Structure 1
């Protein structure tokens, strides 16, 4: 059930950067214990060598070119061709973790220039990263720089482990009950990200006999993956937690109920992190031995060891 993640080869793996360097990234190293990495360096793959002249992205006539400013050699067509060939052969991929600021791999972080202008005029996706996004619109694509942000990193983890779980489930589903069990486990996580799609997925599972199991699996996968595009707000979390709270509220004292409502207000007003409230509510699921709640992926959508807050100076 390990997620399959395409990673830029210069991140912890090989010294293939333009200057012969390697990127030491703590999070990517920790993540390697829980995922299968598929390494790639587009620039080395097209024969640019190590070390090599740094290339830049130049905008011209609404198009982006990858140019070696020292020799004026244009690598655009080679990078795009490699990207297309590499990506079309990928199967069972759950996410991409690419190198920030790279003209080939950066995600919204590669510097963009205008012809003959030595000052960057903005930022864009690297050419390889852009093809990844075009070919895998529903798969999470991030670079190690963006993953320094705790919220972006948590959402990335939610997606790659959820998609891996779905992939494994669908590959092994021989009976509709297996898909029903999966859907039950993901009810509140789906509610957090996309309530409308939660209902659609429920209808697909409920009406599976009309289209058959295989078509049900195809439709379920398509809508499930499209459900995680937006970053959930604190109020979305509170909405989910209130639904969960309803399962056991009648068993609580007046003081406990008041305390929980106070926690909700503190989270909304950003006086405490929402993770504190989630852990507190999770405790009641185990206290009352509510099996339906205890298996909810909302409470632990990825391995607990990855639920870390890395300080900026560790990256």
Structure 2
């Protein structure tokens, strides 16, 4: 997991002065904290279709029949819909290698959700649109982790996004190394505790799907379906109750090795996490100490204990 991960990003979020007003929307989390692990591939769709900066702002306009047009907000000039859709299709076709994408919120080209959708010839609008480039991206790659920079200020959303891009990167690396059934089953085994923390129900369903791998004639087709199911499962934010369930499950591996005071200390720490009195990092740190003292090969290979670099400090606060 040492190779930098390819992630797309709206160019303005890297500090490039490409916005309609000549400015940028630099995202500190992306540029400062995540950057050591990521190889960013910046795109500004509006610059790419030949617009200058600064320029009149664009807006999404809702037409009859549900069609959407990309117009200049000042009412001048021809719509840029055809150019934007054509560029988006061409560009997205080259992005299947990405493991994630960070887009600029509210943008008529890049916004992921709640982009203002205007009525023709008025300022009446509703927050129901999606930027044309991002719509093409998400339709082409429904498994791809996509987030807006503003939503990444939420600690739970940020951790979920980062975990997904690191997971997808590992799966893609496995894919490039040559698919085998044993490799896929081993990959799934490494993520069992992580998946259990996200959704117990979906974890069981995916487990049944993995158990049926031999029923598929095409391993490539199977892996495509597995990728979609895996990433759909991970979209569910890991919950405190599910983490507690995982921690108690891991605790059981040490019931013979630990003495009574040690067992009580660990159980108390897990309960304190359950009640919100300790961050997740606290019981995990103690469990990793016992894993080093009493090695277990299955636990040692679980991504749950380090789903991303610890230096990102994403488990410190919850």
TM-score by length of 2: 0.85
Contact 2:60–2:69 (8 Å) recurs in 1: yes
- Equivalent residues in 2 for 1:225-244 (5 A)? 225-244=231-250
The residue number in structure 2 matching 1:253 is 259
- Over the aligned positions, Cα root-mean-square deviation in angstroms equals 2.8
Question: How far apart are residue 108 of structure 1 and its match?
Answer: 2.0
Take 1:92 and 1:272, find their aligned partners in 2: how far apart are those partners? 38
Q: 1:51 is matched with which residue: 49, 54, 59?
A: 54
- For residue 33 of structure 1, give the secondary structure of its aligned residue in structure 2: helix
1:157 to 148, 152, 162: 162
- Residue by residue over 1:156-186, the C-alpha shift from the partner in whole angstroms, topping out at 9 and shown as x without a partner, is 0110010000110122136544333322221
**CA gap 1:204/1:308 in 2 versus in 1, 3 angstroms:** closer
Q: 2:28 aligns with which of 23, 26, 30?
A: 26
Within 5 Å, which residues of 2 pair with 1:68-217?
68-73=72-77, 74-118=79-123, 121-122=126-127, 124-173=129-178, 175-199=180-204, 202=207, 208=213, 211=216, 214-215=219-220, 216-217=222-223
Structure 2 unmatched ranges of 5 or more: none
Match of 2:278 in 1: 272
1:17 corresponds in structure 2 to 19
- Report the more deviating stretch, 252-261 or 125-134: 252-261
Range with bigger deviation, 263-272 or 7-16: 263-272
Once the two structures are overlaid, the 10-residue window that deviates more, 294-303 or 281-290, is 281-290
Which blocks of at least 5 consecutive residues in structure 1 are unaligned?
none
Partners of 1:105 and 1:129 within 8 A in 2: yes
Tell me the CA shift for residue 47 of structure 1. 1.2
1:151 is paired with a residue of what secondary structure? helix
Residue from 64, 68, 79 that aligns with 2:68: 64
Deviations 1:126-180 (CA, angstroms, capped at 9, x unpaired): 2222222222222111111111111111000110010000110122136544333
Q: Kindly indicate whether the alpha-carbon contact (under 8 Å) linking 1:55 and 1:67 is maintained by their aligned counterparts in 2.
A: yes
Once the two structures are TM-superposed, the CA of residue 45 in structure 1 deviates from its matched residue by 1.1
Map of 1:281-296 to 2, 5 A cutoff? 281-296=287-302
Q: Given that residues 162 and 301 in structure 1 are in contact (C-alpha distance below 8 angstroms), is that contact kept between their aligned partners in structure 2? A: yes
Higher relative contact order (CA 8 A, sep 6+): 1
Assess, with a 3 A threshold, how the Cα gap between structure 1 residues 297 and 115 changes in structure 2: closer, same or farther.
same
